[in-house]
Chain A
Amino acid sequence: MDWPPQSRRSGNARREQNLALIGAVVSGVVVTVGLVLLFLARADPVLGARARGTALDIVTPVWGVVRAPFDWLGDVTDTIGDYIGTVPRNRELTAELATARRALETDGALRAENGALKRLLKVVEPRAGLVAVARIAGSSTGSYTRTAMISAGRDEGVVPGQPVRADTGLVGRTVEAGNHAARVLLLTDPNSRVPVLIVRTGQPALAVGANGRLLEVRDRLGAEVALKVGDRLVTSGAGGIYAPQIPVAVIVDAGREPPLAEPYANPGALSHVAVFAPYLPVPQIADPEAAANAVPVPREANKRIKTKATAATKPAAAPNTSKPVAPTTPSPAA
């Protein structure tokens, strides 16, 4: 029962046979193309960056509009909730403020001392500049990856590889960017690895996403010092993307290996996030192709190229062999 019903006539069996054959060939071709794409994705994960950016540009405004009334509703319920819980919350905060004030007094002295020492040592600290503040407009709840779409893209200065944070803590980093939208790899994605420092012990570690609610704390230096529930993780600044001292997560399960930590920032509760410039930007490579070719040439091959190049510079050699093979070889002819 095709729709619309096809006109079937007897006598066109041959035509149908041909169509079936073409259909089978086309099916085989598309599956093959899919497999080829998979191999390419394995070799080059940023494949199709432009197409991805365009897809983001198309979908993000849709969710930006659909989301607006829900945000408004959320604001209203939040306001009502604020009024309902005011008295117990006020008592709680007053008690907290008293302890915080005591801590602050010692803190101020430490900060002054730290500033003095840094001035003495002439410590250079790069400033992380704010790139854009954007609305969270979508997620990948329906898929295996844990990402969020935000409503700022290349036009606003957002490019892949920038840290994204909320007021409560780190959210992730940008991985794809269109003109008006970008995709943020969340901390909980299995591909996310954030270099962190455990505040109490000073141990460096990696906060690795596990595709669930919690992060795994892996590769901790000095693993014999046990972690405690409530230990705070902040970014260490290693790797150059995330500035140091951004709150990342808090340990919630220290008993098992690797220990589990819960991120401070919950993207579901956020409406806006801030995108920052990388803390220590990776130096731009002038010619990426030349750099890519520069790495894997074995020493023997280089030697051969060199002898060939020197042979080519001799006036007796054939003039058409002087083409340099690898751009990195300092050929005397150049």
Chain B
Amino acid sequence: MPELFSYDFMVRALVAGLLVAVAVPLMGSFLVARRYSLIADSLAHVSLAGVGAGLLLGAAPVIVAIPVTAIGALLLEWLRQNRRLSGEVGLAILMSGGLALAVVFANLAKGSNADFTSYLFGSITTTTRADVVTLAVAAALAVGVIAMNYRALLHIAYDEDSARIAGYPVTFLNYLLAALAAVMVVLSLRIVGGLLISALLVIPVVIASQLAGSFLKTILWAIAVAMVAVVGGLVLAFYAGIAAGGAIVLTAITLLIATMIWKR
């Protein structure tokens, strides 16, 4: 058995990473298709505000971050549906607003800078057993909701008007997907970090869309690619002694470049 597996924290990190690698690209496939790739980035910044508030209040950061991020996600979706702001502008405002709040809160909650940094860039090797269980429940929820509404979500992702005409509950499903994305983003904070999460949402999907012909295959490829990136990144981090979140994202980008060269 490789040395890697003799450490409990590495095994937990691998399991947590693989759970994220299933749920995040799965949602990413729908978000990228509807030109909403940046939502994860915006939500991650909002979630950091929640983390900052949690640190300030002395509460568990993740517990505070989930409702804060969910509210941010629903607000964003409301702005988009009511055409108050174009999706892009809303994302940009939410992103900078979230980070601004995060910085202010973290600054006020003096002395926990190291803690805050672990949410910015991830700290997968400090994953606890409880983290893994929470993540497993959330990932199962995401897979279940998406599998049950697969056809409707696919239709909405490509053609919202047509989906509405076909009678799907488009508004409800949009809010549901936004809320799910919010939960997954918060739970992935400790794995890849708030500043890197969107890479795991977007890059595997972009690679997959170069490899697969159909949408379903794109999802499956994206999950496979994300798993390779997570495992590869963790192994790299373990043996090279570098930050795991960064190693995962860099592995994903390397895979993207390799795919682009191969597919040229």
Q: Do A and B bind each other?
A: no
The interface of chain B, by Cβ under 8 A from chain A, is: none
